[in-house]
Amino acid sequence: MSRSLVDTASIPGWGSDADPGNDPTYPMRHIEDQPSRGMDWDRPAPQTPTVEVLRSIEHRRLPAVTGTATPPSGISGVLRRLAFRRSESDWWHWLLLMGADRINVVEGVVEDLGRGRVPNIPAEMGIRAEWRHNRKGLATKLGIAAAGALAGYLLVRGSRDGDRSADAAGHAGHDRPGSAAIGADIHPAMRPS
């Protein structure tokens, strides 16, 4: 990349917004001088939704056009309804919506499996584009996923091994009547000295 100065006059469109008379947003910046306050258009006829459309509590009405392709449903729909009871300035609103998105992915996979269709999750996550354009990032993600899977496996395996050793220690000496140690089920730090 060259760091030399560029003659901006040779770039088509450069500075096209410098003239306020040619700037389409200029009238909106100074609406106090306009009698219509910048709203000189008729509101289009609103779309009549045929499914539930969630509306922010900050707005009195729905916009003229709303998305109706995926109405809220299931657990994710319950979370979305909870989110839209809160203000958009409340961080819980956005956390609930992000959580609903994650749950909706799982609901979609379960729905696909219920229809007898196995989803191609790597393709849906864009792994081919990731491999083509961001190999380092993909390798990092796969490494983190592998480390997480290994850690989970070791935790589960360790807890099972711990249960076996606890069972072996707990049954030691119980073959004789009256030989159970008093307080054997108490944590060592809590035992009386």
Tell me: do 114 and 134 sit in the same domain. Answer: no
Could you tell me if residue 52 is inside a domain? no
- Are 75 and 114 members of one domain? yes
89 and 127 co-located in one domain:
no
Percentage above 90 pLDDT, the chain? 40
Query: Is 190 inside any structural domain?
Result: no
3-class DSSP state of 146: helix
List Cβ neighbours of 179 (8 Å cut-off, separation of 6 or more).
Answer: 173
- d(Cα 163, Cα 180) in Å, to the nearest integer? 19
Q: Are residues 130 and 154 in the same domain?
A: yes
99: enclosing H helix or E strand: helix 91-114
> Containing domain of residue 82, as a range?
71-119
Q: Total domain count for the chain?
A: 2
123 against 164, higher pLDDT: 123
Same domain, 137 and 113: no
* pLDDT band, very low/low/confident/very high, at 192 (cuts 50, 70, 90): low
Q: Which of 119, 148, 175 is the last residue of a domain?
A: 119
| Rounded CA separation 135/140 (Å) | 9
Within a domain: 133: yes
**pLDDT interval class at 27 (50, 70, 90):** low
User: Residues 114, 84: one domain?
Assistant: yes
Residue 24 lies in a domain: no
Q: Among 119, 149, 176, give the residue marking a domain's end.
A: 119
Any domain includes 107: yes
Distance set, CA 184 to CA 161, 173, 175, 180, 192 (Å) = 19, 11, 15, 8, 12
Query: Helix or strand or coil: residue 183?
Result: coil
Query: Residues of 157-169 as b/e, b for ≥16 C-beta within 10 angstroms?
Result: eeeeeeeeeeeee
Specify whether 104 is located in the same domain as 131.
no
Place of tokens 């910046």: 29
Pick from 112, 118, 114, 137: which is nearest to 126 by CA? 137
Asked whether residue 80 is domain-assigned, the answer is yes
With bands split at pLDDT 50, 70 and 90, how would you rate the model's confidence at 128?
A: very high
Mean pLDDT of 109-117: 93
Looking at the structure, tell me whether residues 127 and 113 fall in a common domain: no
- Residue 134 in any domain: the answer is yes
Q: What is the mean pLDDT of the chain?
A: 81
Closest CA to 107 of 134, 72, 56, 140: 72
Q: Residue 59 is encoded by which pair of tokens?
A: 């707005």
H or E element at residue 26: helix 26-29
- pTM to 2 decimals? 0.52
Per the domain annotation, does 154 fall within a domain? Answer: yes
Pair 80, 97: CB distance under 8 Å:
yes
* Closest to 47 (Cα-Cα) out of 67, 26, 64: 64
Let me know: does 94 contact 84? Beta carbons within 8 Å: no
